[in-house]
Copies of this chain bind each other. A is one copy, B any other.
Amino acid sequence: MGLRVGVLASGSGSNLQALLDAASSGRLDARIEVVVSDMPDAFSLERARRAGVAAEVVAWGAAPSREAHDDAVVDVLRRHQVDTVALAGYLRLVTPVLLAAFPGRVLNIHPALLPSFPGLHVQAAALEHGVKFSGCTVHFVDEEMDHGPIVIQAVVPVRDDDTPESLAARILREEHRIYPQALQYLAEGRLRIDGRRVVVDPPSPGSGSLHNPAVKF
């Protein structure tokens, strides 16, 4: 009854692990159906196999365009009957091909308090900018990088002696908390988008059975 999630990951996938753990413990009413990586040697694929989850590669550069790459990704996701897509350290900008296949069902997590510090190397950017707080953001994905409607954010302090690594570690602990939480809101049908504001509705009384797990626009 829960979500059928496909995770797209390019790297080691600690957020993938957080989703796998949340799903297996029951905190997240979802099954991770497949992990798709653009990098054949991504450790995310190994995490999937260890958890008994399908691990598939759609190698970057094999397709003639980003859209053709996403066509291949969508094929894999559909084959596994995925209804929700979670990006977890996925380094590719997704195209309208993927977004149109899963409208309102593609989420990403970013290690900064968006709209501050989109893009890459964000902990170093935050430190160099001298912000006193940073954090992380779960958001719906749209066609702009790190830009769509925000579901949950979490805040952490930045310390005077922080390195990019120490700040990243502090933020990562919050990422591992809020990403499963955001997906659980989606599973419970509680997310409502108004403009680009995401409202989390209160849990419905009979939320054991999920009548409308789709996001309401």
Give the contact-size bracket for chain A: 20 to 34
Instruction: For residue A64, give the distance in angstroms from its CB to the closest CB of chain B.
Output: 36
Question: Nearest B residue to A160 by beta-carbon distance?
Answer: B199
Which stretch (A84-92, A122-130, A205-213) binds chain B?
A122-130
Please report the C-alpha to C-alpha distance between residue A116 and residue B132 in the assembled complex, in whole angstroms.
13
| A23 CB within 8 Å of chain B | no
Contacts of A114 in B (CB 8 A): 116, 131
Which stretch (A9-17, A42-50, A98-106, A146-154) binds chain B?
A146-154
A130 close to B160 (CB less than 8 A): no
Q: Which of B127, B195, B199 contacts A197 (CB 8 A)?
A: B127
Instruction: For residue A122, give the distance in angstroms from its CB to the closest CB of chain B.
Output: 12
Contacts of A149 in B (CB 8 A): 130
Instruction: For residue A115, give the distance in angstroms from its CB to the closest CB of chain B.
Output: 5
| A200 CB within 8 Å of chain B | yes
A153 close to B128 (CB less than 8 A): no
Fill in one digit per residue for A129-143: 1 if any B CB lies within 8 Å of its CB, else 0: 111110100000000
Please report the C-alpha to C-alpha distance between residue A78 and residue B82 in the assembled complex, in whole angstroms.
69
Q: Which of B115, B117, B133, B200 contacts A131 (CB 8 A)?
A: B115
Q: A113-B113, A116-B113 are in contact. Are A197 and B153 (CB under 8 A)?
A: no
Question: Nearest B residue to A200 by beta-carbon distance?
Answer: B160
Within 8 A of B (CB), among A152-190: 152-153, 155, 160
Please report the C-alpha to C-alpha distance between residue A114 and residue B116 in the assembled complex, in whole angstroms.
8
Please report the C-alpha to C-alpha distance between residue A132 and residue B135 in the assembled complex, in whole angstroms.
11
Instruction: For residue A192, give the distance in angstroms from its CB to the closest CB of chain B.
Output: 9
B133 close to A155 (CB less than 8 A): yes
| A216 CB within 8 Å of chain B | no
A131 close to B160 (CB less than 8 A): no
Nearest 4 CB-CB pairs, A to B? Answer: A130-B197, A132-B153, A116-B116, A130-B150
- What are 11 inter-chain pairs, A to B, with CB distance below 8 A? A114-B131, A115-B129, A116-B116, A128-B197, A130-B196, A130-B198, A131-B150, A133-B135, A133-B153, A160-B197, A160-B199
